[in-house]
Structure 1
Amino acid sequence: MRLELKDLTRQFGKKTAVQSVTLNIAPGEMVGVIGRSGAGKSTLLRMLNRLADPTSGQIRFGDVDITRLSGAALRHWRRDCAMIFQQFNLVPRLDVMTNVMLGRLNHRSTALSLLNIFTREERLLAIAALERLGIEQTALQPAGTLSGGQQQRVAIARALMQQPKMLLADEPIASLDPLNAKIVMDSLSDINRREGITVITNLHTLDTARAYCERIIGMSEGRVVFDGPPQALTAEAVHAIYGVTDPAQLDESMTSTALSRAGSEPVRPQSEARPVDVMQPLKAYAAPL
C-alpha cells in the first residue's frame, strides 16, 4: 500500500521542525532522507510512526488515516510500521533472544507478555532473524555486552519479528564504525530487496544515501527541497539541501553534524533534543487499551 503525506507539519512552540511536507511513497521503495542536523528528518520519521503527533496535515497508508488512529489501532500501526533507532533501544540486561522476541509484543496477549512466555514458533522466528543477520551466536548473551554494530543488528532482528509492512530507521549507522555501518546498511537493503518491505531511513552522510537508496529526499529547515533518484542530485540540489557555498568542495562522507558545526544551522528544538527513553517503544506496544 502507498504511504501518502499531505501538508504534514510539526511545531515545537514557535519553532517549526517540519513544514508542509507532501510526499507519496510507493510500496517497496528504499528511501533515504538527508539533510543537516536539525533539518527535521527525525521528527518526520517519528510522525510516521506516531511517536510524535503532527500539528497539522495528514498521513495515509492505503485507505487508513494514520493521523486519526488511537488505542489498539495505533499499536497495530506501530507493529506494521517498525522503527529502528540510532540508540538501539535494547534492554541491556536481557539476553539477545529475549530482546528480539519483544518484537512480538503486539501479536500476543498482555498476560503472556508480562509472564515472559514465548512460544516455540516465536523462538524459531527469533533464531531465524538472528541467523539472517549473522549474529545467532550471540543469542544467549546479555544485549549490553554486544558491540554497537551487533546491537543494531539485534534491533533490526527485533523489527523483523513484528512482520512489518514498513521499516523506519532513524540514522541507524550514525554511531557505528564504517565496517559495521556497511553491514547494517547491507542488511536493510537486503530486507528491502528480498521481502519487498518499504524502507525509509534517515542518513547523516550523502555518500551512503547515494550507494543504497533508489530515492533520496533532501530536507532543509523542515521543508523538502529535493526528491528524486541519486543521479539527479546535482550541485545545485546539494547546495539547496546542505547550504554549501561550493558544492564541488563537499566531502560526501562528511556527517550532517559536522556540516552543522561548520555552518549556521538553527538550534534543534529542546523537545527534539531530549534523551530517548530506551523503554519507549516497548511501552507503546504494551500499553493497555
Structure 2
Amino acid sequence: MLELQGLTRRFGAATAVEAVDLRVPEGQMLGIIGRSGAGKSTLLRMINRLTEPSAGRILHRGRDVTALRGAPLRRWRTDCAMIFQQFNLVPRLDVLTNVLVGRLNHLPAWRSLSGAWPEADRAIALAALEQLDIGNLAGQRAGSLSGGQQQRVAIARALVQEPSIILADEPVASLDPRNAKLVMDALAEINRRYGIPVLVNIHSLDLARTYCERLVGLAAGRLVFDGPPEALTEEAARRLYGLEAAEAVGAEPPRIPVAA
C-alpha cells in the first residue's frame, strides 16, 4: 500500500500540490488526470523523492519514505521506478546497455564503475526487451529508434529495476495513437502480470478511461476527483478542466483489447 498524507509542495509563494491524501493499494493501475500545470508531475516526482515535499508524508507498506536519506533513499528510487515523457535514454549507447542501467543498484560498486555486466543481468535485460517485443533492437543505438520504441526501452529499463511501484509521467504525450496504444498496453501488461501498482499521469481521457481502473484528478494542486472511470461525468470533469470539460470527456471510448 502506498499512502500520501497531506502531501504538499510549494515553490516560493506558489503551491504546486496542496494537502493531497491518497491511498493506492497493491496491484492497482491508477490514472492521474488534470490540466497542464495542475500538479500531476510534481506529485509523482515527490513520491519518487526527486522533488522534496514541503509538508506531509509518503508511506509505503508502513515505512515513512519522506524520512529516507542516503543509501535507503537511493534504494527507494530503484524500488519506485520512474518513466519520463522524454524517455531519458543515452542516444549513443545501444538499447541493451540503456536497459542494463536499470540494474546498476543491484551491482557491487566496482562492477557498476567498470561496466562489467554479469551474464545474469544481461539475460534479465534481454528478457525484458523480449517481453516488450523489441528484443531484436538490443544491438541498435537508442537514438536511432522511433519515439514509441524508445519509450518501450525506457519501460524495460524500469522493469529490470525490479520495482515495487512504477510511476509514469506523461509516457505517451509525444507519441502518435498507434505507439501510445503500444506503450499503454505494455504498462497494463506489467501491472497485470506482476501485480506492480502503476501510477500514470495521462493527458488523454480516452486512454485514461480505457486502461486505468481508477482515476484521480488534480486541479490547481488539489485532489478534486477520485473514482472509477465511469464516475467521471461532465460535471466532475468541469471541476478539472473548466470550460473544456465537454470536449475533454467526450463520448465513452471503446475499450481497447490488451494482450493477455
**TM class, shorter-length:** over 0.9
Q: Compared with structure 1, are the counterparts of its residues 196 and 16 closer, same or farther at alpha carbon in structure 2 (3 Å cutoff)?
A: same
| Aligned-partner Cα distance in 2 for 1:93–1:114 | 18
The answer on whether the counterparts of 2:233 and 2:249 sit within 8 Å (CA) in structure 1 is no
Within 5 Å, which residues of 2 pair with 1:79-158?
A: 79-158=78-157
How big is each residue's C-alpha offset from its partner over 1:115-143, in whole Å with a ceiling of 9 and x where there is no partner?
11111111111110000001111101111
Q: Compared with structure 1, are the counterparts of its residues 252 and 134 closer, same or farther at alpha carbon in structure 2 (3 Å cutoff)?
A: farther
| Aligned-partner Cα distance in 2 for 1:114–1:9 | 37
Residue ranges of structure 1 left out of the alignment (5+ in a row): 254-289
The answer on whether the counterparts of 1:244 and 1:250 sit within 8 Å (CA) in structure 2 is no
| Aligned-partner Cα distance in 2 for 1:240–1:210 | 17
The answer on whether the counterparts of 2:95 and 2:139 sit within 8 Å (CA) in structure 1 is yes
| Aligned-partner Cα distance in 2 for 1:251–1:58 | 32
| Aligned-partner Cα distance in 2 for 1:83–1:50 | 11
Within 5 Å, which residues of 2 pair with 1:29-48?
A: 29-48=28-47
Instruction: Note the C-alpha offset of 1:250.
Output: 3.9
Instruction: Note the C-alpha offset of 1:252.
Output: 4.6
- Count of aligned residue pairs for this structure pair: 251
Instruction: Note the C-alpha offset of 1:165.
Output: 0.6
| Aligned-partner Cα distance in 1 for 2:247–2:21 | 31
2:258 — aligned with what? none
How big is each residue's C-alpha offset from its partner over 1:8-41, in whole Å with a ceiling of 9 and x where there is no partner?
0000111100000000110000000000000000
The answer on whether the counterparts of 2:17 and 2:42 sit within 8 Å (CA) in structure 1 is yes
Helix, strand or coil for the counterpart of 2:88? coil
The answer on whether the counterparts of 1:58 and 1:66 sit within 8 Å (CA) in structure 2 is yes
How big is each residue's C-alpha offset from its partner over 1:43-102, in whole Å with a ceiling of 9 and x where there is no partner?
000000000000000000012100010111001111110000001000111110000011
Helix, strand or coil for the counterpart of 1:24? strand
1:188 — aligned with what? 187
| Aligned-partner Cα distance in 1 for 2:32–2:11 | 21
Helix, strand or coil for the counterpart of 2:91? coil
Residue ranges of structure 2 left out of the alignment (5+ in a row): 252-260
1:16 — aligned with what? 15
Q: Compared with structure 1, are the counterparts of its residues 250 and 142 closer, same or farther at alpha carbon in structure 2 (3 Å cutoff)?
A: closer
Answer yes or no: is 1:3 the counterpart of 2:12: no
Within 5 Å, which residues of 2 pair with 1:1-289?
A: 2-244=1-243, 247-250=245-248, 252=250
| Aligned-partner Cα distance in 2 for 1:252–1:120 | 50
Letter in 1 for 2:83: I
The answer on whether the counterparts of 2:41 and 2:201 sit within 8 Å (CA) in structure 1 is yes
The answer on whether the counterparts of 1:101 and 1:126 sit within 8 Å (CA) in structure 2 is yes
| Aligned-partner Cα distance in 2 for 1:252–1:153 | 29
How big is each residue's C-alpha offset from its partner over 1:149-207, in whole Å with a ceiling of 9 and x where there is no partner?
00000000000110001100000000001100000000000000111000000001111
Q: Compared with structure 1, are the counterparts of its residues 249 and 152 closer, same or farther at alpha carbon in structure 2 (3 Å cutoff)?
A: closer
| Aligned-partner Cα distance in 2 for 1:251–1:218 | 13
**Identity between Structure 1 and Structure 2 (%):** 61
Helix, strand or coil for the counterpart of 1:243? helix
Instruction: Note the C-alpha offset of 1:248.
Output: 3.5
| Aligned-partner Cα distance in 2 for 1:73–1:208 | 35
Letter in 1 for 2:145: L
Helix, strand or coil for the counterpart of 2:243? coil
| Aligned-partner Cα distance in 2 for 1:63–1:213 | 25
| Aligned-partner Cα distance in 2 for 1:62–1:131 | 31
Letter in 2 for 1:123: R
| Aligned-partner Cα distance in 1 for 2:85–2:250 | 20
Q: Under a length normalisation based on structure 1, what TM-score does the superposition of the two structures give?
A: 0.85
Q: Compared with structure 1, are the counterparts of its residues 181 and 58 closer, same or farther at alpha carbon in structure 2 (3 Å cutoff)?
A: same
Instruction: Note the C-alpha offset of 1:234.
Output: 1.1
| Aligned-partner Cα distance in 1 for 2:67–2:250 | 39
CA RMSD in angstroms comes to 1.1
Moved over 3 A (4+): 247-253
